[in-house]
Structure 1
Amino acid sequence: MPNLKEDFDSLVAKTSLSDSVDRRTFLKTTLGTGFAAAVMPVCAQTMIKTDTVGLTAGPLEVQANGLSVPIYRAQPEGKTNLPVVLVISEIFGVHEHIADIARRFAKLGYLAIAPDLFKRQGNPAAFASIAELQAAVISKVPDDQVLGDIDACVAWAKENGGNVDKLAITGFCWGGRITWLYAAHNPKVKAAAAWYGRLVGDKNELTPKQPVDIAATLKVPVLGLYGGKDDGIPQDTLAQMKAALAKGSSKCEFVVYPNSGHAFNADYRPSYVEADARDGWKRTLAWFKAHGVS
Structure 2
Amino acid sequence: MPTVDPDAINFVPKSSFSRREMLVTSLAAGFALAVEPVMADTQIKTSSDGLEAGEVKIPVKDGDMPAYRAMPNGKGPYPTVLVVQEIFGVHEHIRDVCRRFAKLGYFAIAPELYARQGDPSKVSDITALMKDIVSKVPDEQVMADLDACVAWAQGSGKADTARLGITGFCWGGRITWLYAAHNPKLKAGVAWYGRLLGESKPLTPKHPLDLVADLKAPVLGLYGGADQGIPVESVDKMRAALKAANKPGEIIVYPDTPHAFHADYRPSYRKEAADDGWKRLQAWFKQNGVV
TM-score by length of 1: 0.88
Please report how far the alpha carbon of residue 147 of structure 1 lies from its aligned counterpart in structure 2 after TM superposition: 0.5
**Does 1:210 find its partner at 2:187?**
no
Match of 1:153 among 149, 154, 160: 149
Corresponding letter in the other structure for 1:88: V
1:80 to partner: Cα distance: 1.6
Residue in 2 that maps onto 1:25: none
Relative to structure 1, the CA distance from residue 138 to residue 33 in structure 2 (aligned partners, 3 Å threshold; closer, same or farther) is: farther
- Residue 139 of structure 2 aligns with an amino acid whose one-letter code is D
C-alpha contact (below 8 Å) 1:34/1:94 kept by paired residues: no
Q: Counterparts of 1:124 and 1:51 in 2: how far apart (Å)?
A: 25
State the alpha-carbon separation in 2 of the partners of residues 86 and 262 from structure 1.
21
How many angstroms apart in 1 are the aligned matches of 2:235 and 2:256? Answer: 16
Matches for 1:50-65 after TM superposition, within 5 Å: 50-65=46-61
Give the Å deviation of 1:59: 0.3
> Does 2:193 match 1:196?
yes
- 1:34 and 1:190 map into 2 onto residues whose CA distance is 32
How many percent identity over aligned positions? 58
SS of structure 1 residue aligned to 2:190: strand
Give the partner amino acid of 1:280: G
Amino acid at match of 1:147: M
Match of 2:19 in 1: none
Q: Which runs of 5+ in 2 are unaligned?
A: 1-25
Q: Which moved more, 1:235-244 or 1:256-265?
A: 235-244
Corresponding pairs, count: 265
Q: Is the 8 A contact 1:172 1:263 kept in 2?
A: yes
- Tell me if the contact between 2:224 and 2:259 (Cα under 8 Å) persists in the aligned partners: yes
Structure 1 residue aligned with 2:270? 273
- In the alignment, is residue 142 of structure 1 matched against residue 138 of structure 2? yes
What's the RMSD between the two structures over aligned residues? 1.2
What is the 5 A alignment of 1:249-260? 249-260=246-257
SS of the residue 1:69 aligns to: strand
Other-structure match for 2:107: 111
Following superposition, the deviation at residue 219 of structure 1 comes to 2.6
Q: Is the 8 A contact 1:168 1:192 kept in 2?
A: yes
Specify the alignment match of 2:82 in structure 1: 86
Q: TM-score of the superposition, structure 2-length normalised?
A: 0.89
C-alpha distance in 1, partners of 2:97/2:276? 15
Cα distance in 2, alignment partners of residues 165 and 49 from structure 1? 30
Map 1:108-187 → 2, pairs under 5 A: 108-160=104-156, 161-187=158-184
Rounded to whole Å, the distance in 1 between the matches of 2:193 and 2:165 is 17
Aligned partner of 1:243 in structure 2 is 240
- 1:285 maps to 2:287: no
1:42 aligns with 2:35: no
Residues 1:230 and 2:238 are matched in the alignment: no
Alpha-carbon distance between aligned partners in 2 of 1:62 and 1:108, rounded to the nearest angstrom: 23
Paired letter, 1:255? I
* Matches of 2:237 and 2:166, distance apart in 1: 23
In the TM superposition, what whole-angstrom CA distance separates every residue of 1:73-123 from its partner, at most 9, and x where no partner exists? 000112222100000010100011000000000011100000000000000
Aligned equivalents of 2:30, 2:202: Cα separation in 1: 28
Shift of 1:34: 5.3
Task: Give the secondary-structure state (helix, strand or coil) at the position aligned to 2:244.
Answer: coil
C-alpha distance in 1 between matches for 2:30 and 2:113: 13
Q: Secondary structure at the match of 2:273?
A: helix
Matched with 1:262 is: 259
Is contact 1:196–1:226 with CA below 8 Å preserved after alignment?
Answer: yes
Secondary structure (helix, strand or coil) at the match of 2:290 reads: coil
**Secondary structure in 2 aligned to 1:202?**
coil
